[in-house]
């Protein structure tokens, strides 16, 4: 029985976003004491994940939300964050919620600059390497959006 559960669990996790939601929900219905460590304001069980493909901007990490339920695009520098809506840890960001216990803003643990085509940009600085792109330096990494 344990081997069957592990096989189903691993397959569900590898199948892609939200494929394992049902199994996660069943586990938490059987073990509600584990839910106490999650913020009940943001996390609701059983999980309700959207069954559509995520379309994160280039360079944005795909992560499971803070409830452990659904896949999401990680929040970026300056974005609102919470127990559920996680910041992009691949970019060394954290949720600064010191002024509000429930929500905060994604900030960099370190304020690393970005070097793009030999030009150094400060953390948080916006720049346009081409007229059709607007980029932002985020703790040593940069992300761009098309402006056309």
The total number of structural domains in the chain stands at 2
What's the CA angle centered on 86, arms 141 and 60, to 5 degrees? 35
102 and 118, same domain (yes or no): no
53 and 92, same domain (yes or no): yes
Give the C-alpha separation, 10 to 139, whole Å: 33
**What confidence tens digit (pLDDT) does each residue in 11-29 have?**
333 333 433 333 433 344 4
* Sequence-ordered strand ranges (E) for the chain: 62-64, 71-73, 80-82, 93-96, 103-108, 114-116, 119-121, 126-127, 133-138, 141-146
74 and 8, same domain (yes or no): yes
What was the pLDDT predicted at 100?
Answer: 65
29 and 69, same domain (yes or no): yes
98 and 27, same domain (yes or no): yes
Give the C-alpha separation, 92 to 135, whole Å: 18
95 and 35, same domain (yes or no): yes
Percentage of the chain with pLDDT > 90? 38
Span 63-76, mean pLDDT?
Answer: 95
Residue 128: give its domain's CATH number: 2.10.70
pTM to 2 decimals? 0.55
Residue 114 phi/psi, 5-degree rounding, is -115, 140
* Sequence-ordered strand ranges (E) for 12-132: 62-64, 71-73, 80-82, 93-96, 103-108, 114-116, 119-121, 126-127
16 and 86, same domain (yes or no): yes
Q: Give just the sign of the alpha carbon dihedral 13, 106, 139, 59.
A: positive
Nearest to 137 by CA among 94, 76, 82: 76
**What confidence tens digit (pLDDT) does each residue in 87-111 have?**
999 998 999 987 666 789 998 888 8
Q: Is the confidence at residue 127, as pLDDT, over 70?
A: yes
54 and 125, same domain (yes or no): no
Residue 45: give the domain boundaries: 2-108
33 and 78, same domain (yes or no): yes
- Let me know: does 91 contact 124? Beta carbons within 8 Å: no
98 and 125, same domain (yes or no): no
Percentage of the chain with pLDDT > 70? 71
92 and 26, same domain (yes or no): yes
Tell me the pLDDT band of 86, cut-offs 50, 70 and 90.
very high
92 and 21, same domain (yes or no): yes
Report which of residues 98 and 80 the model is more confident about: 80
């Amino acid at each position: 029985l344990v081997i069957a559960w592990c096989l189903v669990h691993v397959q569900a996790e590898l199948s892609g976003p939200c494929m394992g939601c049902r199994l996660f929900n069943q586990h938490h219905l059987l073990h509600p004491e584990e839910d106490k460590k999650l913020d009940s304001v943001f996390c609701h069980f059983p999980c309700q994940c959207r069954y559509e493909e995520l379309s994160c901007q280039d360079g944005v990490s795909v992560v499971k939300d803070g409830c452990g339920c659904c896949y999401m695009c990680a929040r970026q520098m300056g974005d609102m964050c919470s127990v559920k809506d996680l910041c992009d840890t691949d970019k060394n960001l954290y949720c600064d919620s010191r002024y509000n216990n429930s929500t905060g803003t994604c900030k960099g643990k370190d304020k690393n600059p970005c070097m793009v085509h030999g030009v150094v940009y400060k953390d948080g600085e916006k720049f346009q390497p081409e007229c059709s792109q607007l980029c932002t330096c985020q703790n040593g990494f940069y992300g761009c959006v098309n402006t056309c």
